[in-house]
Chains A and B, each alone.
Chain A
C-alpha cells in the first residue's frame, strides 16, 4: 500500500492552486495543438518546453503532460468532423468516426472518442501506478527483432478481409510501401528513388499523404455531390452525450482488449499510432459483423481511441523508470526532465518522490479535467458542421495546406497534398481501399529498418526472429493472424468439393 500513500501525497502536490491552473491551460493548449493538423503532440510540447523552464520541475511536467493529454484528446475532433486526422494516431478513428458524423451522429462519435480515450488513459494510469517498476523491465528486452515482430503483428492484425477486390488492396498497399521507401535509407544511408530531387531526401511523410487522401479527397467528393456536407442537421445537446454513455458499456470487451493492446504497445515502445491501427484491426476481426466496420460503427471509434490513449499514457512508464521514451512525445518530455536536472531511471522513484507521484497524480486529474473540458465543448465542435460549405470548404483547404507545409516546411508538400487528394479521389471511385496505403506508409519504413537491423545482427539469418521467446511468440501470432483466413478459405473450398 506504499503506492497508495505516495499517490495521495502526489494528489496534494498536484492539487495546489497554481498546478491546477497550469493543468487547465495545458489541456486547452493541448486540444488546440491536437486539432491543428501538422502541430503534433511532440511538436507542440517541444515548442512550449521553454515556457516551463522558470517553473519548478513538478509544475513544468504537470503542464507539459497535460498538453500531451490535450493533444491526445484533440486529435480525434478533426478526424471525426472533417476526415482530417489532426494526429497520426487518429487516422484509424476516421474510418468509422467520419461516417458516423456524416450520418448525423457527430456528437455521438465525439463523445465516444473522448470517453474511450479517457477509459484507455485511466486503465494505463492505474497500471503505471501499481506496476511501474515490474513492467518497465519488460521494455529493456526490446531489440530490433522484437520491434519487427511487433510491426509485423500490427500489419497482420490490420490486413483483414476487406470488401474491396484483393488485387486492388495489394496494389494500394504496395504503393504505400513504395512511397515509404523513398528518401534516405535509414540503415546504409543510400538515397533511394529520389532521382536527384533534394526535396525527396526526407521521403514522403505520411501525414501529407493522409491530409491529401482523406481531407482534400473528401472535399472533392463533397463538391461532386453539390456543395453540402451530408447529415449536418443533427442537433446536438447534452442528451446525446448521456445517450452515448448509456450505449458504451455494451462494448466493454472491445474496450478492455483495446486497453491491453494500448498498454502493451506503449510500454514496448510500439507507440500510439500502431496501437490504434492494431486495435481497430483486432476489433474488426473479432466482430460478428466485420462488414459494418467503416460505415460508422461505434466500436470502430472505441477501439482505436482507447488503444491510442492507453499507449500514449503508458509510454511514460518506460520513460520514467528506465529513461527509454515509449513515444516521440515522451522523448521530448524526457528532454525536459534532463533540462530540469532530473535523471530518469529507477532512482527517480526513490529520490524525487514528489516529482514522480505529483506527475502520476496529475495524470489522473489531467485526464478527468481533459474529459470535462472536451465534453463540454462537444456542441461547439459539432456546430462547425453547420457552417455553409462555401465557407468551410476553402477554410479546410487552407488548414490542410498549413498541415502539409508544417511537416517539413517544404512548399512542395502543399502541391503533393493536392496530388494525393486527386489520387485519393480516383482510388475511391475505382474501389481501391486507401487504408492499406496509409498503414504501409506509416509502418513500412519502421518495419524495414528494424528488419534490416535484425539481419545485421544475425548476419542475414532469418531465424533471429525465433531466437528469443518474446519475438518468436509475437512473430508466430502475427503469422497465424495472416494465414488463418487463407486456411479457413481453403477448408471451405474442400468442404464444397
Chain B
C-alpha cells in the first residue's frame, strides 16, 4: 500500500465522475417533473425528452459505479488516473487560468491577459521581464485592435480602460 500516496487511483475517479453524471441526471429529472414529462395530445411535453435523458444518465452512472466496485480488487494495479507530480504540473496552468478568469471579471480582459501571459512566461519559461511584458502587451493589443476596433465586439473592460476613456 506504499504507492497509495503518490497518485490518485482510476477507480476513485470513476466513482466521482459517475456521481457527477448521476447528479446531472437527477437535476434534469427533478426539473422535468415541473415542466411535464408526459406525452400529451400535441406530442411530447417540454420535459418528456429530458425526463428519459435524466433517467438514462442516472442508470448509466449506476452501471459504471457497480462495474467499478465489482472490479475493485482487479483495478488495484491499473495505471493511475493522475500522479501527484502530474497534478502539480496541471495546476501550474490551471490555477493561473482560474486567476486570469477572475481577473477578467475584476480588472477587465486586456489587463488580465497581459498579466497572465507575461507572468506565466517569466515563471515557467524563465524569460526576461521585458520580453514577457512585450509579448503580453502585443497579444492584448492585437486582440484589442481586432475585437474592439475592427469588429466592434467589445471585450470586458476594467478600471484602466475606463481611466483611458474606453
Contacts and interface: CB of A to CB of B under 8 A. Distances in A.
Contact of B17 (A388, A398, A427, A460): A427
Nearest to A406: B153
A377 to B, nearest CB: 17
A279 B12 CA distance: 38
Interface stretch (A100-108, A134-142, A185-193, A305-313): A185-193
A181 B48 CA distance: 11
Of the listed residues A167, A170, A190, A223, the one surrounded by the most CB atoms of chain B closer than 10 A to its CB is A223
Interface in A360-415: 388, 390-391, 393-395, 397-399, 401-402, 405-406, 411, 414-415
Given A171-B21, A455-B43, A456-B42, A393 B93 contact: yes
Interface residues of B, number: 67
Contacts of B117: 391, 394-395, 398
A399 B117 CA distance: 11
Contact of A430 (B13, B54, B113): B13
Nearest to A399: B143
A47 B13 CA distance: 45
Interface stretch (A172-180, A249-257, A287-295, A479-487): A172-180
B90 to A, nearest CB: 5
Nearest to B151: A47
A175 B22 CA distance: 10
Contact of B42 (A175, A411, A459): A459
B100 A178 contact: no
Contact of B101 (A401, A456, A458): A401
A285 interface: no
Nearest to B125: A390
A224 interface: yes
Nearest to B49: A448
A401 B116 CA distance: 12
Of the listed residues B47, B53, B64, the one surrounded by the most CB atoms of chain A closer than 10 A to its CB is B53
A216 B41 CA distance: 45
A445 to B, nearest CB: 11
A contacts with B: majority SS: helix
A223 B96 CA distance: 13
A174 B24 CA distance: 10
B97 interface: yes
Interface residues of A, number: 62
Contacts of B20: 423
A168 B89 CA distance: 28
A220 B93 contact: yes
A342 B143 CA distance: 36
Contacts of B89: 223-224, 226-227
Interface string A208-247: 0000000010011001101100000000000000000000
A192 B41 CA distance: 20
B95 to A, nearest CB: 11
A430 B68 CA distance: 12
A489 interface: no
Of the listed residues A216, A224, A394, A458, the one surrounded by the most CB atoms of chain B closer than 10 A to its CB is A394
B92 interface: yes
27 contacts: A177-B49, A181-B53, A193-B28, A193-B31, A193-B50, A216-B97, A219-B93, A220-B90, A220-B94, A223-B90, A390-B124, A390-B125, A391-B121, A394-B120, A398-B100, A401-B100, A401-B113, A405-B104, A411-B104, A423-B20, A426-B16, A430-B13, A448-B49, A452-B43, A456-B42, A460-B39, A460-B40
Given A190-B35, A411-B156, 16 more contacts: A39-B151, A170-B60, A174-B56, A177-B53, A193-B28, A195-B27, A219-B93, A224-B82, A390-B124, A391-B127, A393-B93, A405-B104, A414-B101, A414-B104, A429-B82, A430-B13
Interface of A: 32, 36, 39, 44, 47, 167-168, 170-171, 174-175, 177-178, 181, 185, 187-188, 190, 192-193, 195, 216, 219-220, 223-224, 226-227, 388, 390-391, 393-395, 397-399, 401-402, 405-406, 411, 414-415, 418, 422-423, 425-427, 429-430, 432, 448, 451-452, 454-456, 458-460
